[in-house]
């Protein structure tokens, strides 16, 4: 090849040449186009006979799938080799040449493909792996707060405690884990609850009210819980509603409002709610359900429109009475303080006035032991006038006394007037109104420190 040849220098990149000029083997000259055509014509004129000894395997990638048995043997050989290296022992003998090269050998054209090409040993290995995976699925773990109930063909056979256990996998045996230490809550009647109450309840004071409540219970017998009752939630809802209706019918609305459960606040259990719990527990024990009711909590009360308005008015009236009672108690305390101060001052000035009068009388007697009547009266009148200037009167009438002892808040408010314009004087009965005094236990008395 000369330097002026256009193909010079491209022999190292056969992919950019004409396919007919690519050398078949390394170190041979490229086949020219004319030589290739002459070779093709010679092959058409005299076809090449196959060599003796039968058909040869065609070159190229294998057409059939690799043998599963061979793959398994190679995997086992690799594992044994690694174990021998870790234990510092001699490695196992290498696989035989036919087994090692069987994967790379191409399958004959007439051999079956796909799953039909697997041997009996390959099928046994695959089935063994499936059976092993099925048996491994029988292991299960039971937590500390759970109990495992084991069933065989749907019949409960035993229970298991905390830890790892094994059972025959499904469909021979099945296991159900039941929480036996945690509290469960069944909400009924709440807007976000899955169960709603069947209707409103009637209280002892003839008020219709919708009660949203919760049942807190715990499972103490998992076998009875799973075998005796098909739907424990439905049973608890029916028993709780029946017992609560009977209890609400004997309680007024005000007591029900005082038993509402508030989030974050520990509510004192009302006696009638404890009775509801005991009645439910007796019914559940008779059915042997394995459920223990721990508490009944009233979460909300829903009142009809007229009833709700009347209740609000009653609450406002009660608050007004309490506010009036507080103001009255504060005014009474202020009046008492002023009256005591006035009494102490009156006592001190009376004592001083009497002493001054006695001293002046003794002086007059000493100066004139036998005065005339008219002169004595004049002297006493002048002495009395002088003492009155020194000790003036604190009040002249009852109205002045009341004005001095009346609290400032009462003075600022106008007094109620009667029909004829006269000021209404409070009577003794108005200061001890039965309805007003009935709420005294709800109000802190002044000076109690609260």
Minimal CA–CA distance to 439: which of 310, 323, 332? 323
User: What whole-number distance in Å separates Cα of residue 207 and Cα of residue 307?
Assistant: 7
Q: Give me the half-sphere count of Cα atoms (radius 13 Å) on the Cβ side of residue 143.
A: 9
DSSP class of residue 192? T
DSSP strands (E only) in 171-250: 173-179, 184-188, 201-202, 208-219
Confidence bin at 166 (pLDDT 50/70/90): very high
The tens digit of pLDDT for each residue in 387-434 reads: 777 777 777 777 877 787 777 665 555 544 444 444 444 444 444 455
- In which residue are the tokens 């003075």 written? 411
Confidence bin at 383 (pLDDT 50/70/90): confident
Looking at 72-81, 178-187, 191-200, 276-285, which range is the least confident one? Answer: 191-200
Q: State in Å, rounded, how far the first CA of the chain is from the last one.
A: 120
Is this prediction's pTM over 0.85? no
**pLDDT of 286:** 93
**pLDDT of 360:** 78
Residue 333 scores a pLDDT above 80: yes
Mean pLDDT of all residues belonging to the chain: 74
Confidence bin at 243 (pLDDT 50/70/90): very high
Average pLDDT over residues 339-352: 85
**pLDDT of 380:** 76
Residue 187 scores a pLDDT above 80: yes
**Residue predicted with more confidence, 96 or 279:** 279
Cβ atoms of 322 and 239 closer than 8 Å? no
| Percent of the chain residues past pLDDT 90, beyond the cut | 25
**pLDDT of 142:** 94
Cβ atoms of 167 and 138 closer than 8 Å? yes
Give the pair of three-digit tokens for residue 428: 């003794």
User: What whole-number distance in Å separates Cα of residue 370 and Cα of residue 257?
Assistant: 87
Average pLDDT over residues 75-97: 81
Cα 303 off chain centre by: 27
């Amino acid at each position: 090849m000369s330097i002026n040849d256009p193909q010079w220098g491209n022999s190292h990149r056969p992919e950019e040449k004409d396919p007919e000029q690519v050398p078949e083997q390394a170190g041979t000259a490229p086949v020219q186009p004319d030589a290739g055509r002459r070779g093709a014509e010679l092959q058409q004129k005299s076809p090449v006979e196959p060599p003796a000894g039968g058909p040869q395997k065609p070159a190229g990638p294998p057409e059939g799938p690799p043998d599963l048995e061979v793959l398994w043997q190679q995997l086992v050989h690799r594992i044994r080799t690694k174990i021998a290296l870790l234990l510092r022992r001699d490695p196992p003998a290498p696989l035989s040449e036919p087994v090692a090269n069987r994967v790379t050998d191409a399958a004959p054209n007439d051999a079956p493909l796909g799953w039909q090409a697997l041997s009996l040993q390959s099928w046994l290995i695959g089935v063994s792996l499936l059976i092993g995976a099925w048996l491994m699925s029988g292991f299960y773990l039971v937590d500390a707060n759970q109990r495992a109930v084991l069933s065989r063909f749907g019949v409960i056979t035993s229970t298991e405690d905390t830890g790892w256990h094994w059972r025959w996998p499904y469909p021979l045996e099945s296991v159900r884990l039941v929480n036996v230490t945690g509290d469960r809550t069944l909400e009924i009647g709440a807007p976000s609850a899955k169960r709603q109450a069947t209707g409103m309840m009637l209280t002892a004071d003839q008020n219709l009210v919708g009660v949203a409540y919760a049942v807190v219970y715990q499972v103490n017998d998992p076998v009875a819980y799973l075998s005796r009752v098909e739907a424990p939630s439905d049973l608890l809802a029916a028993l709780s509603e029946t017992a609560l209706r009977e209890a609400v019918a004997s309680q007024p609305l005000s007591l029900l409002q005082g038993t509402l459960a508030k989030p974050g606040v520990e509510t004192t259990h009302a006696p009638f709610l404890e009775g509801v719990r005991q009645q439910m527990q007796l019914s559940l024990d008779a059915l042997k359900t394995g459920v223990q009711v721990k508490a009944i909590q009233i979460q909300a009360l829903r009142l009809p429109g007229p009833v709700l308005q009347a209740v609000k008015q009653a609450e406002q009236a009660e608050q007004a009475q309490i506010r009036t009672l507080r103001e009255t108690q504060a005014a009474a305390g202020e009046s008492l303080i002023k009256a005591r101060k006035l009494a102490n001052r009156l006592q001190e000035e009376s004592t001083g006035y009497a002493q001054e009068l006695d001293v002046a009388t003794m002086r007059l007697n000493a100066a004139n032991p036998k005065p005339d009547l008219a002169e004595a009266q004049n002297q006493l009148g002048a002495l009395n006038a002088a003492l009155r200037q020194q000790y003036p009167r604190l009040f002249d009438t009852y109205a002045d006394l009341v004005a001095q002892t009346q609290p400032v808040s009462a003075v600022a408010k106008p007094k109620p007037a009667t029909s004829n314009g006269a000021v209404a004087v409070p009577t003794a009965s108005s200061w001890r109104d039965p309805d007003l005094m009935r709420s005294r236990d709800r109000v802190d008395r002044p000076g109690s420190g609260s």
